[in-house]
Structure 1
């Protein structure tokens, strides 16, 4: 059986690791790694620690929020651990992946997290459909007003160069050509300028 390494994290220097260290020592870890970094930071010493840990060792934390800010991030850490055949103990939840029940609980957490993501996608999709039915437009707002488009089409009919029209009206060339085609507008003088 490999080493059991305790990991404790605080978000800023105003906090203390003493309580976490005491509880991890009471749990019986072989070594404790501490760091001060925000829970959302992607640049944690934790990731270096996982890379350095040997197969068959165990990472032990008091609470899941010491590893990650949310379930999705926690499951990403769990995946890294699984890739390296490292077990995980989360003391406050009674999760110990060295046991079948601990593995089951993490599998259930992963399933619930995936279900939540799928449900959110469905809600977003339905919300977009509903908004489109009500006439809500999606995508970036045009940088030109409808009056600018009318002016651009008028300038086009007066045979002004398209580059000039786009510059002064802020109507993109593609938009101008599309609207002209939709309305069947052509230049008075067929010569392209």
Structure 2
């Protein structure tokens, strides 16, 4: 058995699921005991949705991951970590940059093994396929609507570049900035890229002026 330090991540979507917190903790603790892993810390988001990654315990976990305080992030299921496959893949890729593995006890996901990595790659392929299908359907729908004289594009949302750069400079995430301006995180991401920013080592940096 390998003595690895593990960060346990636990999440419930409502603040009334105390039993779920206890069950997840018990399952993950037993898993670590069987593997001979040392539990570094329990990161618990109590009453937070998995729709995005803007969660306090999750953010703290990623900060500690950047400082390499543990070797593995462990959850019971992948949807406890992220509901969106895209969010999951981006997060796992970021953990890989920090030389940290990710595993789920109830599913064949373990990036320290070839099979676990393959499973994630298959999921990524399906996610990309689904994205392309959705885009093709949306494009076909827009073209059909435009032929009938309908306007399908949305007006560009006005966002203060100065304020956005100020918030990003303070370390706010795209999700947090989106909530500030009342837009989606993807809109914030697109604007930052448009302004010459790149996302590196867990933060947005200006690439060119």
TM-score band, normalised by the shorter chain?
0.5 to 0.7
Q: Indicate the larger mover: 40-49 or 109-118.
A: 40-49
User: Normalized per residue, which structure has more strand?
Assistant: 2
Q: Which runs of 5+ in 1 are unaligned?
A: 142-193
1:18 pairs with one of 7, 15, 22: 22
1:34 pairs with one of 23, 28, 44: 44
Q: How is 1:36-185 mapped onto 2 (pairs within 5 angstroms)?
A: 36=46, 37-41=48-52, 42-53=54-65, 54=68, 57-139=71-153
User: What SS does the corresponding residue of 2:106 show, helix, strand or coil?
Assistant: helix
1:56 Cα deviation after fit: 7.0
1:8 Cα deviation after fit: 0.8
Change (3 A) 1:128 1:85: same
User: What SS does the corresponding residue of 1:69 show, helix, strand or coil?
Assistant: coil
The separation in 2 between residues aligned to 1:140 and 1:49, in whole angstroms, is 37
Figure out how many residues of one structure are paired with residues of the other and give that number: 141
1:133 Cα deviation after fit: 1.8
- Give 1 or 2 for the bigger CA radius of gyration: 1
TM-score normalised by L of structure 1: 0.65
Assess if the C-alpha contact under 8 Å between 2:108 and 2:119 holds in 1.
Answer: no
Assess if the C-alpha contact under 8 Å between 2:5 and 2:71 holds in 1.
Answer: yes
Q: Which runs of 5+ in 2 are unaligned?
A: 156-209
| CA deviations over 1:4-61 (Å, ceiling 9, x no partner) | 2211112232111110001001101532322212223513321221221317701010
Assess if the C-alpha contact under 8 Å between 1:87 and 1:98 holds in 2.
Answer: yes
The separation in 1 between residues aligned to 2:87 and 2:154, in whole angstroms, is 30
Change (3 A) 1:71 1:114: same
TM-score normalised by L of structure 2: 0.61
